[in-house]
Amino acid sequence: MGTDRHSSVAPAAATARQLGLMACHRCHQLCRRADGPAICPRCGAALHSRKPNSIARCWALVIAATVFYIPANVLPITHTTSLGAVQSDTIMSGVIYFIHSGSWPIALVIFIASVFVPILKILILIGLLISVQRRWQWRPVDRTRLYRITEAVGRWSMLDIFVVTILVALVHLGALANIAAGPGALFFAAVVVVTMFAAEAFDPRLIWDGMEEIDDGTH
Amino acid sequence: MHYIACHECDLVHRLEEIPSGGAARCARCGASLYRPKRDSFNRTLALAVAGVILYLIANTHPFLGFKIGSQIRETTLATGIYQLYLQGMVPIATLVLFTVVLVPAIHLVSMLYILVPLNRQRVPRHLARVYRLVLFLKPWGMVEIFMLGILVSVVKLVKMATIIPGVALFAFLGLIFTLAAMAVTLDDHLLWEQIDTHQ
């Protein structure tokens, strides 16, 4: 395989682990596998054949994110005071406001970044965790790709936190108009940070380990 | 010629000479293995210097002005973070400070520290430690997301008041492109190899 202009890569048809090696997470150096803790001789990073306790850590963080996701969406993220009247907005009411005011592209951006991406990320990680634990053989390439996408897009959920920061800083005009951050923002920030750690905790090589053990049996 | 393991599926590959502009991908899962870069250290250093200048402007000048009646309010990044802090939103203030101010600063300074000596064929002390810090912090630098946040805020406020774009807005925009370009021009395999060759 290796597609366009990639002819110079020759797969050795074995994983580092099968060859008694492990790759450094930071500098890609291949090192001999050792029992007990090891350190990369080149860059000094801690070496592991697979991320330690990947599945348990990822589950714990995914569950925490799911718990935080509820108050993040139910509690207000901003309180707007305008001439004495206070209006509280949740993430969804912000999206609806943009739809009503006619700026639906912005509504779509906020909806995707703040509602869709976090829930999708949680669901994908749950799916990947179950697939790894049950040693599913289903489409490993697509599952790896799904992981790669999840890891890459998660940070964009920080968008709403930044919007709140900017609004709070700008709209600070005493009795005339004032915007303050609400408790929902706190939970929402927690969801983003915790899901980023969860994606980091998952080890995509586990997807392929499940495939290899079946291969060994049939050959 | 050397061997490399895919960081996503662990399959070992033998890497040979890759033609310029070419890239190596994992034969099994398709993850990118290695893409050699031309004139890597030189170009990345130039971008890092530009990045430092843009960063300083972006963080010291107002990025938006907000005019309602006779009141004008100008905002720098620091005032936004300070307002959150005053409202008791310390975790969020810390998160914004970290992702938009501290991480990009550490990133730029570290790259200067690494690349100025490398560009003169010298290896800086603690190269591995400094570059590992850069890699560790990478996902937490969020300048580009902050920029999108500015855009959304402007749309939200444009009916309430007159919005005046500030100098820092353009500096932020430039910084995003500079940081993205640095990620493209830096050849991190070549960087790690410096440790091998100079030992």
- Kindly list the domain boundaries of chain A, sorted by start residue: 1-49, 53-218
Please name the member of B10, B17, B128 whose beta carbon is closest to the beta carbon of A44.
B128
Name every chain B residue with its beta carbon within 8 A of the beta carbon of A41.
none
Same-domain pairing of B30 and B44: no
Chain B's closest residue to A30, CA to CA, is: B4
Write down the H helix ranges in B24-97. Answer: 40-60, 77-86, 90-96
Phi, psi of B195 (to 5 degrees): -65, -40
Q: B168 to chain A, minimum CA–CA distance in Å?
A: 13
Answer whether B152 sits within 8 Å of A159, measured CB to CB: yes
Write down the H helix ranges in B61-126. Answer: 77-86, 90-96, 103-119
Same-domain pairing of B93 and B107: yes
Same-domain pairing of B61 and B156: yes
- Exposure string of A121-160, with b = 16+ CB inside 10 Å and e = fewer, is bbebbbebbebbeeebeeebeebbbbbbebbebbbbbbbb
pLDDT grade for A217, boundaries at 50, 70 and 90: very low
Q: E strand or H helix at A56, and its extent?
A: helix A54-74
Are A187 and A72 a contacting pair, CB within 8 Å?
yes
Please name the member of B14, B22, B69 whose beta carbon is closest to the beta carbon of A6.
B22
Q: Which domain holds residue B75?
A: 38-197
In degrees, to the nearest 5, what angle opens at C-alpha A147 toward C-alphas A146 and A150? 85
Answer whether A103 sits within 8 Å of B153, measured CB to CB: no
For residue A218, is pLDDT > 50?
no
Please name the member of A3, A26, A158 whose beta carbon is closest to the beta carbon of B132.
A26
More confident residue, A131 or A171: A131
Answer whether A45 sits within 8 Å of B3, measured CB to CB: no
Same-domain pairing of B93 and B17: no
Same-domain pairing of B29 and B61: no
Answer whether B149 sits within 8 Å of A140, measured CB to CB: no
Same-domain pairing of B71 and B153: yes
Q: Which CATH architecture has domain A53-218?
A: Up-down Bundle (1.20)
Same-domain pairing of B89 and B117: yes
Q: B90 to chain A, minimum CA–CA distance in Å?
A: 9
Same-domain pairing of B90 and B184: yes
- Our count of domains for chain B comes to 2
Most confident of B17-26, B148-157, B178-187: B178-187
Give residue-wise pLDDT tens across range B59-97: 999 988 888 777 787 888 888 889 889 888 899 999 999
Residue to mutate among A19, A24, A29, A162, with most B CBs inside 10 A, is A162
Q: What is the ipTM of this complex?
A: 0.85
* A/B interface, count of CB pairs below 8 Å: 226
Percent of residues, chain A, with pLDDT higher than 90: 45
pLDDT attached to residue A63 = 97
Same-domain pairing of B27 and B42: no
